[in-house]
Amino acid sequence: MDHQVLFTEKQRFSQWWVWLILLGINGFFIFGIFKQVIGGQQFGDKPMSNAGLIIVTAVVISISFLFTKICLETVITPEGIYVRFFPIHLSFYHYRWENITKCYVREYNPLKEYGGWGLRIGLSGKGQAFNISGNTGLQLEFKNNDKLLIGTNKPEELAEALSKLGQLR
């Protein structure tokens, strides 16, 4: 990656409702362990084994922990755009300016256009999206007609960096 970084952003899931859902699911299974494994009372009408309940609870807690590690990183340099959706992408994807035909910041509807947040494939030719929150993103269109939307919570700073590079088009 070029040493001259003009823009950088690191986003994490911060929507309260995501954490509320995860907390509720974790609480449900932890309650089940206390009731069945520790208290000796069956948890539910058709309870699973103690080992099964412990394994499922461990998986649910692990998934919740994974959500704390997920982040979308975007870096803009004179070479191009670097982006990664950690931990799915361990290294950055690099998009060179010479392969990009259009590059602009726009508002979008995450649910209607991409079916939500995360690593998404757009509906009806919208291309891919890497997004974590909000409804503003960097829209890239490539020479091969592929499209990529990268979510941002800093649209003004992003547009300013692109303008400095002469890449806002």
Write the burial class of residue 93 (CB in 10 Å: 0-12 exposed, 13-18 middle, 19+ buried).
Answer: middle
Tens digits of residue pLDDT in 19-59 = 899 999 999 999 999 999 999 999 888 889 999 999 999 99
pLDDT in tens for each of the 169 residues of the chain?
657 899 999 998 777 888 899 999 999 999 999 999 999 999 888 889 999 999 999 999 999 998 888 999 999 999 999 999 998 889 999 999 999 999 999 999 998 888 888 888 877 778 999 999 889 999 999 999 999 999 999 999 999 999 998 887 7
Q: What is the pLDDT of residue 121?
A: 85
How far is Cα 42 from Cα 139, in angstroms, rounded to an integer? 52
Write the burial class of residue 158 (CB in 10 Å: 0-12 exposed, 13-18 middle, 19+ buried).
Answer: buried
What pTM does this model have?
0.79
